[in-house]
Amino acid sequence: MDSEQQNIVDYVGDYHKYWWQQVYQRVLGGVVFIEDCLAECLHWDGGLFNLVDAGAISVKCLSSFESGDENQKKAVFITRGTSANLNSIQEILLNSHFVSCILITNADSNILSSESDVTYDELKETVGKWMSKKECMVEIVHTPLFGVSITNNIFITPVFSKLYPKFGHGLFPTQTSMLDLHSLLLDDKNEVRRLASSIDSFLEYLGVKEDIFYLGPFSSVLAGVLEHLPSGTRRKNASGQASIVFIDRTLDICGVTTHSSNSVLDKLMTLLPRFPGHSTDLAVDISPLCEADMVTITDDVHLSPGCIVHVDNESNRQNFEYFVNKTQTEVMFGLYSKLMRINNMSPGKFPPRVTAQNLEKLISTYKGNYKIIEANSGLLQQSLGIVQALKSPDVQQIDLLMCLEKQVLQSITTSRDSTSVLSQISHIIKSWKQRGLSLERLLSLLVYIYSLAGGYITFSEAQEKTLHESLSTAIYENKNNITSCFESLDDAIHCKEDADFLTDFIINRLKDLSKLRDNLTRYKSVINVIDKVSPSEYKGVLQQLIGDIVDIRRPDMPDLKCRTAGLKDFLLSGFNILMSTTSKNAQNISKHPFDNPLVIIYVIGGITAEECFKIHRDIMISGTDINVIIGSTSLVNPVEAMKQALFI
């Protein structure tokens, strides 16, 4: 790889920073109204104070309930530009006295035209009418903000965190030849178009033209939309080449519903609540640092949470990267060392093993010392997050579920169709309260089981009937909390019949889920049977695919399709067949992701830090000099992954 191509990867993290700089240049003297998902992206670029330092006089949520004061004359909207957003903008402008408006949107003119049937010029005119002023200034700016770089080679797209590969309703693998953009619901069509447009702008910034690969029916739709975008000029002028691989999460949900992760970040994602309004950052209780009395404090005042993402200095950013790619022991020692340096404590005081209690005791020495807290805010919040996760009462639940997952894997492997897994799980569900297990985590385990089994085994009707009975009873027993657990449910559970109906729905979804690898050839199973004496292992579709991609022998990957093979390859392939050449020769002319110096892997539907770590480990072991960037719609934990699989 030459130096120019190497720089492509070096500057990936600067993509979103570049576009935020375009935003900062336009906020001087304005009231900024920002959409939640874009506020999350801003958080990863430095947060609210970047807007304030750039001259914004106020920052508010983009909501129809907000407006400007009488003396505020300039409004800046940072928005996706959806129909709902435009309605909110209209309400804000009608209830304010702005004479200047800048609408910064990540939707290009083609997207707005397809969704709202308006061009930029027409929208500009409409916004002017909403302002109801004879003399006003309106500017519409396209800044394709959509993601955040959590490490140098991993990016997440909060703007598309709710995009998920749908299945059911005719969207099954056996019908992939029929699946296209028009098979999707309207909201999904719009999101796929927007994601393809965002990726197109990303590739333009990198200066590359792409070969597009996909694995899964939903990914095939995204690949098709990206391929047919009017990007001829970009591709013609590109100085480099890249492969982009889209993968459906639903082909293998085991990787995101398992509790058996060695990643510190995955543990934090599982045990800490989300930071309000965010899909990736986590909330940390910072009361141990404060002198406020949280017991007697009045009900209308609360202590805002801290978080674990701090990009204000390199050390804090490094801590977050260590959460992804270092062991828990390394992370704990690293945090302890940095906490000791705050007061220049002697390294000789290190305990032989750093525990949550060691960290907690050290953090407590800084309680109420606001000068130190202000100077080391990020480090202290990150350290508190680790302490609170490791001391969480849910840790025992997680340990039990890890054991159950291992038992399930071995039982399915050894017993196949005669397995009694569902009977065992049904018994556990019956005693969920006594075991201290939440219904959400038990449903996560069921999703894990059905996705793991896939077409490998078929559960008996009798076992599923037993499962139905125990699950329905558990749902009814938890009826008062069920709607708070699953916000997407339209109706509450009032009687046993309601619980039976919901259980029918869940089990049918689980059965559908188990079929999603049926049409795959090479990646049909995610169970790796080593030998008769060694325990079987879970080896996910994503890991299998990466293993094949980096394999110097270039094994056949019939499940991975390419949208950009081109007419020339098609004609050559046909000519070889006519000349009676071997299928191997025809295979040699097909495209391969590693034909290009940069590979972008994007998982639709969420990914875990553990999976990202394994991908980079396998690539490093392979010795290849290809650069790989991993992206996904979101980082997810087992409960979130379960809700997506069952209820989205």
Residue 603 within any structural domain of the chain: no
Confidence check: pLDDT of 154 > 50: yes
The average confidence (pLDDT) of the chain is 87
Query: Are 373 and 458 found together in one domain?
Result: no
The verdict on 425 and 300 lying in the same domain is: no
Closest by Cα among 69, 276, 68 to 77: 68
**Burial call 264-291: b when 16+ CB within 10 Å, e when fewer:** bbbbbbbbbebbeebbbbbbbbbbbbee
For 97-132, what is each residue's pLDDT tens digit?
999 999 999 999 999 999 988 899 999 999 999 998
Neighbours of 66 (CB within 10 A): 16
pLDDT in tens, 470-525: 999 999 988 877 766 666 665 678 888 989 999 999 999 999 999 999 989 999 99
Where among 390, 424, 440 does a domain terminate? 390
Between 572 and 288, the more confident residue is: 288
Domain that holds residue 436: 395-514
Whether residues 22 and 137 share a domain: the answer is yes
Lowest mean pLDDT among 193-197, 358-362, 445-449, 563-567: 563-567
Where is the domain boundary, 459, 488, 514?
A: 514
pLDDT digits (tens, 9 = 90+) for 527-552: 988 776 678 889 999 999 999 999 98
My answer on whether 384 and 446 are in the same domain is no
pTM of the model: 0.92
pLDDT value of position 132: 82
**Per-residue pLDDT tens for 237-278?**
999 999 999 999 999 999 999 999 999 999 999 999 999 989
Give the number of other Cβ atoms within 10 Å of residue 361's Cβ: 12
Quick check: is 229 in a domain? no
Q: Is the pLDDT reported for residue 169 higher than 90?
A: no
Same domain, 438 and 381: no
Q: Are residues 326 and 281 in the same domain?
A: yes
**Virtual CA dihedral for 609, 168, 443, 398, nearest 10 degrees?**
-10
For the domain that residue 100 is a member of, what is the CATH number?
3.40.50.2060
Same domain, 404 and 378: no
Residue 374 lies in a domain: yes
Please, which pLDDT band fits residue 352 given cuts at 50, 70 and 90? confident
φ, ψ for residue 136, nearest 5 deg? -145, 160
Mean pLDDT of the 589-615 span: 91
Query: In the chain, pLDDT over 70 holds for what percent of residues?
Result: 88
pLDDT value at position 105? 96
Count of domains forming the chain: 3
Structure-model confidence comparison of residues 279 and 417, the more confident one:
279
Integer angstrom CA distances of residue 571 from 11, 467, 532: 38, 54, 47
**For residue 580, is pLDDT > 70?**
no
Residues 81 and 127 in one domain: yes
- Structural domain contains residue 351: yes
**454 and 333 share a domain?**
no
Do 89 and 115 fall within a single domain? yes
What is the Cα–Cα distance from 520 to 73, expressed in whole angstroms? 59
Tell me the mean pLDDT in the region 408-430. 86
pLDDT of residue 484: 61
Give domain status of residue 164, yes or no: no
> Other C-beta atoms within 10 Å of 83: how many?
11
pLDDT above 90 for 20 = yes
Residue 574 domain flag: no
- Residue 267 forms part of a structural domain: no
Backbone torsion region of residue 430, taken as left when φ is above 0, otherwise alpha when ψ lies between -120 and 50, otherwise beta: alpha
378 and 399 together in one domain: no
pLDDT at 12 over 90: no
- The confidence score (pLDDT) of residue 3 equals 47
Looking at the fold, whether 386 and 467 belong to one and the same domain comes out as no
Top-confidence residue, 351 or 60: 60
Q: Where among 142, 164, 199 does a domain terminate?
A: 142
The answer to whether residue 194 is domain-embedded is: no
Candidate from 219-228, 375-384, 434-443 with smallest mean pLDDT: 434-443
